[in-house]
Structure 1
Amino acid sequence: METMGDVDQTCGMSLAIDVVGGKWKMHLMWVLAEGPVRFGQIRRKLDGVSEKVLAENLRQLEASGVVHRELYAEVPPRVEYSLTPLGESLSVALKPLEDWGEEHREVLSSRR
């Protein structure tokens, strides 16, 4: 377990990877960058993610402060997810990585 002293010793890249690391979190950031979205909409856009894994990843991103969960007092209850200002800045930081992937799509796809 990291202590606050350990966090001070960690490089920025490690901190960023702690937030978006894993199979689905960057994909979630991409979906949420389009604007507020409901759980079912996210699930339809991310083919292959289970409800359990999606909920877990959303909770982790919310705990990291990059995702906001808004619960509306309606019947039936409605929940929307969106990026916080911190999440929006992270999304901007991830854009060059997406651009790099698009630029090298052909070469990278041929190596799979």
Structure 2
Amino acid sequence: MNLPVPGKPVRGSKTGQPVMALLDLLGRNWSMGIIWHLYSGPSTFRKLQDYCESISPTTLNKRLKELRESHLIERTLEGYALTQDGKELYELIEPLGGWARNTWAKNFD
């Protein structure tokens, strides 16, 4: 597993521009779904697995490890939770979800 890191080659950027490293991480299966789910509060591994429906335990473990190493989530007594950086990222991305639903998706109606 190669964690996308700013300054090192990532998908879409040979120089590893920070935004491209972030988009590489967020573009991985279930990364955004995990962040989206955790914004409502901490969750256990089992609850995350139920939320992510078809995710395998191996893939969920990989995503959780990547998101922890990226300082977006952390382990707490209640399970996994967003860090302050993770909450800030969600709040930046959430309006993009609204735009996608209300503007971009209309192109496909």
TM-score range, shorter chain: 0.7 to 0.9
Counterpart position of 1:57? 63
Compute the TM-score of the two structures, normalised by the length of structure 1.
Answer: 0.74
Give the residue type in structure 2 aligned to 1:36.
P
Counterpart position of 1:15? 21
Q: Where in structure 2 are there 5+ consecutive unaligned residues? A: 9-14
Q: Deviations over 1:57-105 (max 9, x none)?
A: 00100000000012x4xxxxxx600000010111111102211222144
- Using CA pairs under 8 Å that are at least 6 residues apart, name the structure with larger relative contact order, 1 or 2: 1
Compute the TM-score of the two structures, normalised by the length of structure 2.
Answer: 0.76
Cα pair distance change 1:23/1:107, threshold 3 Å? farther
Give the residue type in structure 1 aligned to 2:45.
F
Counterpart position of 2:11? none
Counterpart position of 1:84? 83
Q: Distance in 2 between matches of 1:14 and 1:100?
A: 21
SS of alignment partner, residue 7 of structure 2: helix
Cα pair distance change 1:101/1:5, threshold 3 Å? closer
Aligned pairs, number: 99
User: Which one has a bigger Cα radius of gyration?
Assistant: 1
Q: Deviations over 1:6-54 (max 9, x none)?
A: 35x5434213213312121001110111101111111111111111101
Higher helix fraction: Structure 1 or Structure 2? 1
Q: Does 1:93 align with 2:99?
A: no
Q: Where in structure 1 are there 5+ consecutive unaligned residues? A: 73-78
SS of alignment partner, residue 6 of structure 1: coil
Counterpart position of 1:31? 37
Cα pair distance change 1:11/1:81, threshold 3 Å? same
Q: Distance in 1 between matches of 2:6 and 2:86?
A: 25
CA RMSD of aligned residues (A): 2.4
